[in-house]
Structure 1
Amino acid sequence: MRSRFRCLTEPGFWVTVAFIVTAVAGGLSLPPAIAAESGRLVEKDGKLVFVESTDPAIKLLLERALKQGLITKEEYEKVEKESEERAYALTPTFKGWYDRGFNLSMNDNAFYLKIRFRAQLRYTQRFRNDAWRDPGDAKNFPELLGVFGDYRANRSDETGSSFNVRRARLYFMGHLFNPDFKYYVQLAGETAENSQSPGSVRVLDLNFSSTHFPLFNIQFGQYKVYFNRAQINSTASMQFAERALVMDAFTASGLDRRDIGITIMNDEEIYPVNYYVGIFNGAGPSFNRIGGFFSEQPTENCGGGTTGQNPFPSPASCPAPQRNINANLRNDINQLMYVARLNWNIMGRPGYGEGDLAYSETPQIAVGGGFSYNPAVNASSNSSFVGTDLANLNFRRQIAAFGNARQLGWGIVDYATWALDGVFKYRGFSLQGEYYFKNVTRHEKGLPCMNTTCTQTAPGLLGNATGWYVQTGYYVIPRYLEIAGRYAYWDPDTNSADDLIKQVDLSLNWFLNGTYDHQIMVTYSNIAMGTGGYAIGRSAPLPPQSGTIPLDASGGTLIENMIRVQYQIFF
């Protein structure tokens, strides 16, 4: 009896009664005040959809029962409330799905995470001329050896074959609190083709962005510096397996594409003219100025040796022979890098990805320019004799890796770099190009000593650097098959002759699903690198203290032909 009586008091009982009665009596519509909707907005497939908390069929029966007097208003509201609470309790607090990445979002949209992975697997076949055997390259891309980062000529046999995990990237991106506060993390575990050490997992990007105010967006952390088109573009959306050498040489810092700092910009999707103003450490990714050091002489104007002997005749005022390989001074740590860029989308929005994969139905045209000033880059120490200098390895390795090794050995230098770029895209055809100029200012105005008595110096000061490239492509089969070509020119030292670097690239690109996410690329490259000019202290081994630090002799033009076959998958 108790169970039967309890059943009569349950709201579900009245729902059943209401269903039976209304099924017989027929439906009557309720006044708008009674039929007011209760529920909430949820995000579905990128759209906000209103979902009622109570099942629509049950709600209709309740409303009819209320209208016919089978239940009271208090009973109706009680059932409605309990139904909402039950629906809310059964609804998951998050949702997950796959759409070009693994996505996780909270129902209130206060948190969103997308996880993606990208890999580029590559086979490379190289053919080099005899000049690569003798003298090799000791001026632009030397090998760095030893604790002090001694540089040696990069020499190799005529042919070479290799498989390479060129890029392996893991991405975490999304927003926190609301869609206008974004985060972006990119991890890399890869090995460059010319790497001198095994690859390891490292943080490429870690930054946050505020887009609350479209005219003043803010990005801070570690990321690619907004300087020039080639620097901003991702390797996931290139027309060739690698950037041209000249693109790497003219980064904002002169060291790397990435740095740690803050940038203020406007919304690229709203305004046709976009500005970027940033301040950075100017020391490359995962590093700052405080980590750099300066190897000073213990006594000003008095020489010091690497093994305790004094290589210079000491004046009477100088103390006994001293060592000068001491990282006992951290200078210029108050220096920062300043960068500005302006981009004008004249027609459409071509973006920074290379090629016209979207097969634009209307012309897409943009022009832009950038300027960066990076002072006090420690290319070596201020040791009087270039054979005994000690430089911070982080700076030295970055300078050499990006092809600017002619600047090593010149002490503390300032970089002022300009860039101009333009792009045109229309119906599968693309054309883009950039021009670069770098002014290199040396703090120590005198010529470096080339022997222990300083009776011989370098033949001239290091000059500036210029370069440019132009590239084009066309989709033979829209969105699936592209052919592309590129020509690049680079003068690493305007004060030297016979040192030009010229590069020609041809590429055939097959996009398996019509996107950059799944593609096969075959790129042919021809590089001619002049060995003229000079580079300070590049020889192996260094001569005795009584000798002369030789200049690298010119050995003709280094010619390299290579074919890269690359598979990229991005999911």
Structure 2
Amino acid sequence: MVVALGCLGIGTAQAQSVNDSKFGKGLQFIAADSSFSLKLGARFQTLYQGSTTSGSGEWKDRLLIRRARLKLEGFAYSPKLEYKIALGLSNNDIGNDNPEMFDNANSIVLDAVAKWHFRPNWELWVGQTKLPGNREHIVSSHKMQFVDRSLLNSRFSLDREAGLQLHHTHQLGQMVLRESAALSMGEGRNIAVNNTGGYSYTAQAEIFPLGEFEGGGAYVGSDIYREESPKLALAAAYNFNDDTNRSQGQLGDFLSGQRDLHTIFVDAMFKYRGFSTMAEFARRSAPDGPVITTTEEGQVDETFVTGDAFNIQAGYLFKSDWEVAGRYTTYNPERETSLLAQEQYTLGLSKYIVGHSLKVQSDVTLQDFPGRDNGYQFRLQLEVAL
């Protein structure tokens, strides 16, 4: 596919005009008649990860391609109709590392969405993309402050789904307000079978009391743009997933039963002159109880992931483009699920060579499991984004 796209670009070069193509910005083309535009980008993350526990002392490690992505975006027919296509090419992107499962080609599609600016400050999105949930997930994996997202995100994120989204933005003086609503399938991305239960309904409200962040910085890890004045973002989101059969709503194992799931998110981000901090709280509940089946011994066999989590992180980006950051995350599943509670303490060190497009990141994490051996993890990652 990549070769074919490259040949297409070469073969049509005479009919296109290259616009502002440089490292980290992708290849950009605009049709000679201005009927469409195309920006082609690619990126990958090479990760070394090692871990041990205080009980065993055995060091387990691996080297892998954490993510490999191909992205196409631009406008079609009119600048009012934008599109985005994102493909995940690594095993982790696709969702499994079993070679026998790779015939499930539609797992490759991350985003395939059209965005229609039908009125000033109004947008209608149609297709598959991220739902308007927690800020940490809305921040692209290309623009994270740490090697990867927190435990809160891995347990409670809404991830991506196919559906409709309506977005609105308005301004009151310096203050900016955004509202989003989404109707989606309820079972995650790339579901090709008929809907099993009901649909998923998501609403989000966001406020910027001190005005917009530089360069869309409310959805970028670290204060990479070094805000000249204090900037603050506050948001709350709610998701109702009607009769889902996946353990985490849009993610997780497919279970033998169905439940209504209610998820709330509250988050805040602040940035000023190289300093940045972000805090999030998430809670998910199942009114009919999360447990589906138990064994003859009374142990939980199938359960939905319910409970709450809190994450807070902060960092300072020096003028040398080195950043030191810290993160604390606590995850508290409901007792009846029999899932393990956990706390994580993470210290990160990053070097931004060309912003988020070329960077080296590392972090060390203490994983505290109440009543069990502690875990220790070290990660080192190189990111290259063309």
Q: Which residue of 2 aligns with 1:569?
A: 384
2-structure distance, mates of 1:123, 1:260: 33
Contact 1:489 1:502 in 2 (8 A): yes
Q: Which residue of 2 aligns with 1:488?
A: 329
Q: Which residue of 2 aligns with 1:259?
A: 161
2-structure distance, mates of 1:443, 1:437: 14
1-structure distance, mates of 2:294, 2:348: 46
TM-score, normalised relative to structure 2: 0.84
| Paired residues, number | 357
- Counterpart of 1:112, as a letter, is S
1-structure distance, mates of 2:381, 2:115: 33
Shift of 1:127: 1.4
Distance 1:473 1:289, change over 3 A: same
SS where residue 499 of structure 1 aligns? coil
Matches within 5 A, 1:213-292: 213-252=119-158, 257-267=159-169, 272-287=176-191, 290=194, 292=196
Shift of 1:212: 3.2
Matches within 5 A, 1:89-168: 93-97=15-19, 98-99=21-22, 100-130=25-55, 158-168=58-68
Shift of 1:523: 1.2
Provide the aligned C-alpha RMSD in A: 3.1
Distance 1:566 1:472, change over 3 A: same
2:232 paired with 1:365: yes
Q: Which residue of 2 aligns with 1:549?
A: none
- Counterpart of 2:34, as a letter, is N
Structure 1 unaligned regions, length at least 5? 1-91, 132-156, 293-331, 381-394, 531-555
Distance 1:96 1:379, change over 3 A: closer
Q: Which residue of 2 aligns with 1:469?
A: 311
SS where residue 79 of structure 2 aligns? coil
Contact 1:273 1:345 in 2 (8 A): yes
Contact 1:120 1:167 in 2 (8 A): yes
1-structure distance, mates of 2:250, 2:166: 30
- Counterpart of 2:139, as a letter, is N
Contact 1:412 1:442 in 2 (8 A): no
2-structure distance, mates of 1:443, 1:174: 45
Distance 1:124 1:462, change over 3 A: closer
Distance 1:108 1:413, change over 3 A: same
Q: Which residue of 2 aligns with 1:17?
A: none
2-structure distance, mates of 1:357, 1:518: 13
Q: Which residue of 2 aligns with 1:348?
A: 211
Shift of 1:93: 4.3
2:200 paired with 1:337: yes
SS where residue 242 of structure 2 aligns? strand
Contact 2:121 2:170 in 1 (8 A): no
Q: Which residue of 2 aligns with 1:435?
A: 281
Query: Who wins on radius of gyration, i.e. which is larger?
Result: 1
Shift of 1:349: 2.2
2:372 paired with 1:557: yes
Distance 1:558 1:197, change over 3 A: farther
1-structure distance, mates of 2:41, 2:135: 24
2:83 paired with 1:183: yes
2:349 paired with 1:508: yes
Q: Which residue of 1 aligns with 2:260?
A: 414
Distance 1:396 1:337, change over 3 A: closer
Contact 1:281 1:289 in 2 (8 A): no
TM-score, normalised relative to structure 1: 0.58
2-structure distance, mates of 1:203, 1:466: 30
Matches within 5 A, 1:389-400: 398-400=251-253
Contact 1:228 1:419 in 2 (8 A): yes
2-structure distance, mates of 1:275, 1:354: 22
Contact 1:463 1:494 in 2 (8 A): no
2-structure distance, mates of 1:215, 1:379: 35
Contact 2:238 2:262 in 1 (8 A): yes
Contact 1:228 1:341 in 2 (8 A): no
1-structure distance, mates of 2:305, 2:77: 51
Shift of 1:377: 1.7
2-structure distance, mates of 1:248, 1:268: 32
SS where residue 231 of structure 1 aligns? helix
Among the aligned pairs, what percent are the same residue?
Answer: 22
2-structure distance, mates of 1:448, 1:498: 14
- Flag the structure with higher strand content: 2
Q: Deviations over 1:335-372 (max 9, x none)?
A: 11000000001113232111101011000101000000
